[in-house]
Amino acid sequence: GNSVTQMEGPVTLSEEAFLTINCTYTATGYPSLFWYVQYPGEGLQLLLKATKAEDKGSNKGFEATYRKETTSFHLEKGSVQVSDSAVYFCALSGAQGAQKLVFGQGTRLTINP
């Protein structure tokens, strides 16, 4: 079946550090890939997406590239801020007609000043 595996958290970094949160997936067909972010007390918000191989999604300084060969969609940011502290979810949908979003378990990120 379709699945998403994320880097175990929690992750704690200092402000201006480089961030990578790993995400790998298993899917049949050609899924779309997403990163969602959840700030405390809020719902999930779409951060970025990519719909085909080698697409790069980007938003708010975050980037992720859809790598079909390695079935990965790692999230990166060059210089994190305290306001980036949140839980990040990798997800896929559309694999072989499946309409559901399949989420990873989430990675809690804390940025210290």
Strand 11-14 versus strand 107-112 pairing type: parallel
Q: Which is nearer to another protein, 79 or 110 (CB)?
A: 110
Instruction: Report in angstroms the alpha-carbon separations of 42 from 21, 31, 87, 96, 109.
Output: 21, 26, 11, 31, 15
Among 7, 13, 76, 103, binds another protein (CB under 8 A): 103
Smallest gap from Cβ 103 to another protein, in A, equals 5
- Determine if 51 is a binding residue for another protein (CB under 8 A): yes
Quick one: 87 exposed, middle or buried, by C-beta within 10 A (0-12, 13-18, 19+)? middle
CB of 74 within 8 A of CB of 66?
A: no
- Determine if 89 is a binding residue for another protein (CB under 8 A): yes
Listed residue (108, 90, 102, 110) closest to 27, CA to CA: 102
Q: Which is nearer to another protein, 79 or 105 (CB)?
A: 105
Among 1, 40, 97, 113, binds another protein (CB under 8 A): 97
Select the span of 12-20, 64-72, 77-85, 88-96 touching another protein (CB under 8 A).
88-96
Q: Which residues bind another protein (CB under 8 A)?
A: 32, 34, 36, 41-46, 49, 51, 89, 93-94, 97, 99-101, 103, 105-106
